[in-house]
Each structure stands twice: as C-alpha cells, then as structure tokens.
Structure 1
Amino acid sequence: MRRIGIAVNQNKPSALDVTKQLVSLLEAKDAKVLVDSKVADQIGRSDLALDVDKFPDQVDLVFVLGGDGTLLGVARQLAVYDLPILGINLGHLGFLSEAEPEDLPSAVDRVLRGDYHLEKRMMIDASIIRNGQTIHRNIALNDIGIAKGSFGRMVTLSVYVDDMYVDKYSGDGLIISTPTGSTAYSLSCGGPIVSPHINVMVVTPICPHTLTSRPFIVQKDQVIRVEVSATHNDIGITIDGQVGYKGEVNDTIIVRKSPHYTTLIKWQERGFFDVLRQKLHNPN
C-alpha cells in the first residue's frame, strides 16, 4: 500500500475542493492518506490529520497543493528526509509543479503504479557570519538573495570563490541560485537559464551600477563568500524569497552546495525545455 501525504496551501481559492477530490481518488485506490493538520479539519477529515513535519515517518511521498512558493517551503521543510514530492499547481505559474487540478485522476493513477521518474534537484546552504560567529544558517532550493532595502541606496558586495577574489559589485545586490532557481529571480535579473541536470551555482548581480558586471557560474563543489559593505544597515538576506534575515555592514555570507536534495516526481515524457516553453513563453 502506498502511503501519501498531502501538504496544502489553504490560502489558494480552490485548495479545499482539490484536497477533497484528491483524498477521494487516493482512498478509492486503497492508498493510505494523511493530510496537513491545518486543512484536514476543514475538509471534515480530522481522522487523516498529521503535521507536515511528521510526514517523513508516515508517508512514502508527498503531494503538494499550491504554487511554486508552497513547494519551495515544503522542500526546505522536508529536505533532510529525501521524500519525493509531486507538485499540483494551484498558483499562477507552477513552474515546479507537474500536474494541474484537472489532471488529478491521471496523476493519482500514474503515481500509484509508479509511472514516473525521480529528479533530484540541488540545494544550497547559506551561513550568515557576524563578528566571527555564525548567526543564521538555512537551506534553499531556489536562491539566496543579498540586497539593499531602501529605494535609492546601494550595497557593495565583494565576492570570493574558494577564497579567490572575483570582483566587487555595487548596486541593488546579488543572487546566488541553483539550476532550479535559475528560472526564478535570477532570470529576471539577466541570469542564464541552467538545465536542472547540471549541478552548478549561478551568481547574478541585481541592477549593478557598472557597464561590466555580468552573471557567472561556478562548479557545485566551490564555496562562494560574499562580504557586505555599505553606508547603511538597510540590508536583507533572503532564502528562496520566503525567509528573511536583517543584514549588517561587514557581514559575511558563505554559500555552498547542500548535502541534501529535493526529489521531484516528474513524468518521463515531459522534459525541462518543454516546461520552459509552456510556462515562460510570451505569445506576444
């Protein structure tokens, strides 16, 4: 019997209806189902309630109902457990999701018969060091952002790779992304699209105040060190655009490949560049 956990972004308009449908489809196939405690009571199934952080001991894989942001949050929460995740898109873009609500019957059938492949997505670790002490550490599937806060101010970031000086970037900040994150904030700042099958890190300046600053790519096992300088302390460090820390002048941020991966459930016939065309193509 397959054991399925369902994590839900209850703020999406169709979340409860889709959750009910998914539970019915899975139970009709004799799967064991557990639902995020925050949602189970709302759909009248308190008998299925379990906190998402307890899924690893009880389920074989997780359906995530929501948008890309929901999946990113669940991926960080479950990263150390290597649980396969299937994204069901209830958001706008749904770049990381593999199915839409109208695909639920087919998606359930495919998952239960094992008609999919697992795609391991690289994650990165970020440590914020202040006065020689690590004050924050976190993991990201998409990116680490280091940026100034207020409009009209700049931040200067000195970048080193494996202790070798690269350059100094003055502007709005810097994004360090995984291949998965290369199609997110980094892309909007002029960074390259990187196939998720290539494990590298992308460093992309945000609105650099120079004619020569360009994004660059480093090997997965290299370590990126960023030293912060500015005339103010209005500085922020973000994890996947969801978790934020207040930075200060002279902070050092160390970014390296994480030992953990996010494992996504993917359909064999649906390649990365197919999704890229479908989701990011501008018909105009």
Structure 2
Amino acid sequence: MKVIGLLVNHTKPMAKDVARRLIGIIEKNGAIARVDETTAAVIGRIDLLLPQADFADQVDLLFVLGGDGTILGFARKFAKTGLPLLGINIGHLGFLSEAEPQDLEESVKRVLEGNYCLENRLMLEAQVERDGQVIYEDLIALNEIGISKDRFGTMVTCRLFVDDMYVDQYTGDGLLISTPTGSTAYSLSCGGPIVSPHIDVMLITPICPHTLHSRPLVIAADQEVRVEVSGTHEEMVLLVDGQDFRTLENHDIIRVRQAPYKTKLIKWRDREFFDVLRRKLHCAP
C-alpha cells in the first residue's frame, strides 16, 4: 500500500482546503496519507501525523502543495532521501508543478497506477572560502547559486574560473550559476538561454553586466566553477535559489559544482517540457 507524504505551504490561501480534499482522494483510492505536525493541526487529522524527519523512512513519495518556491525549498530538504516529488500548484506560475487543484483525482490515480515518469534534475553544491577557511558549505540549490550586490547603485566584480582556468571578469549586479531547471528562472530574466532539463550542464549568466561583450556561458556539469568577488562598498550576498542568503566580503571565493544527488520530479508522460514552456511563459499561443 502506497504511503504519500504531504508537504504543504500554509501561507497559500487554498492550502487547507486543497490538503483536505487531497487526503480524502488518497484514502478513497486505498493509499495512506501522512502529514507533519503543522498540517495535522490545521486540518484536524492528528491520526495522520508523521514528523518530516521520519518521511524518508516511512513514505514512498511526496506531494508538495505550493508554488515553485515551495518545491525549491522542499527539494533542497529531501533530495538526499531520493523521494520523488509531485508538485501541486496552489501558487502563481507553477512552472515546476505537474498538477493543479482541479486535477487532484486524476493525479492521485496516475501516481497510484504508476502512470508517470521520473525526471532527475541536476542540483548544485556551493561553498564559500574566506582567508583560506571554509565559512559556508553544503549550500544546495535546484535553480541557481547567485552572487549579487546588496545595495542599489553599487556594483560587484566577479572573477570567473572554470576548472582553475581563468575565463573573464564581470562587473555589474552579479553572476548566476544555474542548472537547466533554473534556466527558466532568474537566469532567463538576465538573458540566459533556456536549457532542456534532460541534459546535465551548468549555465553562467552575468546579471546586468557593465560591458558590451559579456555573454552567458554553458559548461559541462562535471566542471567546477570558482568565483572571486570584490566590491567597493563590500555589500555583497550569496543567494541559494533566491531563498537562502549569506553575506559575502571582499575577496571571498565561491566554489560551485554539481551536487552528489538529484531532485526526482514526478512528471506525466503526455506533458512535454516545451509545451509547458509555451503555456507558462506565454511564448506562443
């Protein structure tokens, strides 16, 4: 019997009602639902309580109720476990989600019948060195690692190396190191290319560079990126998926490589990446 763990973003207005409906459908179809302490209390189902720390050992897959940011957060938390995630969009864009609230019945049936495929999404791992010491490590991202100024009107300089080979120096608002999943996020708005999630590469995209020649780069996933940063106002930050922020100082060194594990996303076989791209980003009718 399948055991499905629910991960719910309770800041979303629809979260409580959708969670209740989803649990009813799961149970009606002969599976078991498990929820954490917050969700159990909110929906009044203490009988379903299972701490998130125990999900890895006691559930078969995860349903994530929220938007893209919710999926990013839980992907970073659960990728090491190898548990597949199905995104159910109760946010805005929902680019990473595969299901909508109106599709709950069909979505549950598809999952229980095994009528889906798994996409293994590349993740990044970063660390920060200062004066020869590692001060931040095990920073994991599904979308991107960003290096940015922390104040309007200032600039940050990033010296870029790939596998210890000097590439270029970028002065502007910062630099992004992204996965193919992140190619449709912040990197896209900075002029980076859209990359199919089925290939393992890393993207390096300057953020508002103060030059005429700076262009995005695509490198192999097994290469290591090193960035040396400096800024006249020393107000710089490292961003992990736009959710986790770390303060940077002059001459800090950021190293980025592919993580040793991937996020497993549940996807429907009849839903192609470029169809989703057109629909979600309004690229074409």
Q: Give the secondary structure class of the aligned counterpart of 1:260.
A: coil
Q: How far off its partner does 1:133 sit? A: 1.2
Query: 2-side partners of 1:282 and 1:268: how far apart?
Result: 22
- Distance in 2 separating the partners of 1:107 and 1:37: 25
| One-letter code aligned to 1:139 | I
CA distance in 1: counterparts of 2:61 and 2:36, whole angstroms:
13
Partner of 1:106: 106
Distance 1:181 1:54 in 2: 29
Q: Mind listing any 5+ residue stretches in structure 1 that lack a counterpart?
A: none
Partner of 1:27: 27
Where 2:242 maps in the other structure, the secondary structure is coil
Structure 1 segments of 4+ aligned residues over 4 angstroms from their partners: none
Is the contact made by 1:53 and 1:78 (CA closer than 8 Å) also made in structure 2? no
Q: Note the aligned Cα RMSD (angstroms).
A: 1.0
* Equivalent AA in structure 1 for residue 180 of structure 2: P
Q: Percent identity?
A: 60
Deviations 1:147-174 (A, max 9, x none): 0011010000000000000000000000
User: 1:238-266 CA distances to partner (integer Å, 9 max, x unpaired)?
Assistant: 10000000000010000001111000000
Q: Equivalences for 1:138-217 in 2 at 5 Å?
A: 138-217=139-218
CA distances 1:226-283 after superposition (whole Å, capped 9, x unpaired): 0011112210001000000000001000000111100000000101101101100157
- 1:36 counterpart letter in structure 2: D
Q: TM-score, normalised by structure 1?
A: 0.98
Question: Does residue 120 of structure 1 match 2:120?
Answer: yes
- Structure 2 CA distance, aligned partners of 1:93 and 1:230? 34
Task: Give secondary structure in 1 for the equivalent of 2:259.
Answer: strand
Segments of 5+ residues of structure 2 without an aligned counterpart are none
What's the CA shift for 1:126?
0.6
Which one is further off, 152-161 or 125-134?
125-134
Alignment check: 8 A CA contact 1:232 1:249 kept: no
Cα 1:201–1:283 shift into 2, 3 Å:
closer
Counterpart of 1:115, as a letter, is N
- Cα distance, 1:52 vs structure 2: 2.4
Q: For residue 249 of structure 1, what is the aligned residue in structure 2? A: 250
Partners of 1:282 and 1:222 in 2: how far apart? 32
Partner of 2:223: 222
Report SS of the residue matched to 2:123: strand
Please list, as runs of the form range in 1=range in 2, the aligned pairs for 1:54-133 lying within 5 A after superposition. 54-133=54-133
Equivalent position amino acid for 2:65 in 1 = L
SS at match of 1:245: strand
Q: Secondary structure at the match of 1:237?
A: strand
* Number of residues of Structure 1 aligned to a counterpart in Structure 2: 284
Residue 102 of structure 1: how far off its partner (Å): 0.2
Output the CA distance in 2 between the equivalents of 1:100 and 1:53.
Answer: 27
- SS of 1:259's equivalent in the other structure is coil
Q: Distance in 2 between matches of 1:96 and 1:168?
A: 33
The CA deviation at 1:36 is: 2.5
SS at match of 1:209: coil
